[in-house]
């Protein structure tokens, strides 16, 4: 059975040595190249053609995010595993957009790294638990804000939504089984409450408050 060929880039020499030593003990993976220079890594990928690239995220010269994007554009089949100290939402989101196949934190155990490499080599994705939790927050958080600061009554929120969907007063009346006049009154009250004076302002308010 052939070993899976891995390329590692990390501008911290110690970290780099550590990972290399760890993988050298593995029977499944083989480090075919290593570098502290991300630009050099890009060249190595072209020439050495590894199956997996393990990359640090914050590096001088070329960030892991940029590196990942470039790798994916020139060699889409190369799997990329991001290795980071941080698990902030922004970095994670950017890495995901860059098309990363896995993202693990540097403080996680060695078996986590091997686990990740295994999954990734099978074409699956792998994310550290902490990273998954952050992803979850990104997905659910916007929805949580929704329930917080709304002065509007339930009925008024309904009206706002329908206004947002480009319905006019008559149509809204039909949908809610109320008179067009009532809709007008709600509108009036909504504008007063939201301190807006046109549909433009209202929609901005609605979007800010996640009503639409």
Contact residues: DNA, CB under 7 A: 153-156, 168-170, 173, 176, 178-179, 181-182, 184-188, 191, 197-199
- Please report, as ranges, the residues that interact with its own copies according to CB under 8 A: 93, 96-97, 119, 124-125, 127, 129, 132-133, 135-136, 138-140, 143-144, 163-166, 168, 196-204, 207, 212
Q: Which is nearer to DNA, 114 or 203 (CB)?
A: 203
The binder of 143, among its own copies, DNA, none, by C-beta within 5 to 8 A per type, is its own copies
Q: Are the beta carbons of 183 and 176 closer than 8 angstroms?
A: yes
Q: How far is the CB of 195 from DNA (least distance, A)?
A: 12
Burial (Cβ within 10 Å: 0-12, 13-18, ≥19) of residue 134: buried
When CB distances are held under 5 to 8 angstroms depending on the partner's kind, the choice from its own copies, DNA, none that residue 17 binds is none
Cα–Cα distance for residue pair 184/181, rounded to 1 Å:
5
**86 phi, psi to nearest 5 deg:** -110, 155
Of 46 and 89, the one with the shorter C-beta distance to its own copies is 89
Nearer to its own copies, 154 or 198 (CB): 198
Q: Binding partner of residue 15 among its own copies, DNA, none, CB under 5 to 8 Å per kind?
A: none
Q: Are 78 and 96 in contact (CB under 8 A)?
A: no
Q: Least separation, in Å, of the C-beta of 149 and DNA? A: 12
Residue in the structure block whose two tokens are 């896995």: 102
| Residue (2 or 166) nearer to its own copies, CB | 166
Q: Are 56 and 18 in contact (CB under 8 A)?
A: no
Q: How far apart are CA 126 and CA 138, in angstroms?
A: 17
**Binder of residue 79, out of DNA, its own copies, none (CB less than 5 to 8 A by kind):** none
- CA–CA distance, 6 with 16 (Å, rounded to integer): 13
């Amino acid at each position: 059975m052939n070993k899976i060929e891995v390329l590692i880039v990390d501008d911290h020499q110690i970290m780099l040595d550590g990972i290399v030593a760890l993988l050298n003990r593995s029977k499944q993976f083989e480090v075919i190249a290593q570098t502290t220079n991300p630009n050099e890594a890009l060249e190595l990928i072209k020439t050495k053609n590894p199956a997996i690239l393990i990359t640090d995220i914050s590096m001088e010269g070329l960030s892991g995010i940029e590196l990942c994007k470039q790798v994916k554009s020139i060699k889409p089949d190369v799997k990329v595993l991001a290795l980071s100290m941080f698990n902030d939402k922004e970095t994670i989101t950017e890495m995901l957009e860059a098309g990363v196949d896995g993202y693990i934190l540097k403080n996680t155990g060695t078996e986590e790294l091997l686990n990740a490499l295994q999954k990734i080599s099978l074409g699956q994705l792998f994310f550290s638990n902490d990273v998954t939790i952050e992803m979850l927050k990104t997905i659910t958080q916007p929805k949580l804000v929704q329930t917080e600061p709304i002065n509007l009554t339930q009925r008024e929120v309904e009206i706002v939504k329908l206004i947002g969907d480009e319905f006019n007063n008559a149509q809204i009346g039909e949908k809610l089984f109320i008179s067009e006049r009532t809709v007008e009154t709600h509108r009036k009250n909504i504008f007063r409450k939201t301190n807006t004076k046109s549909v433009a302002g209202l929609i901005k308010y609605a979007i800010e408050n996640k009503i639409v």
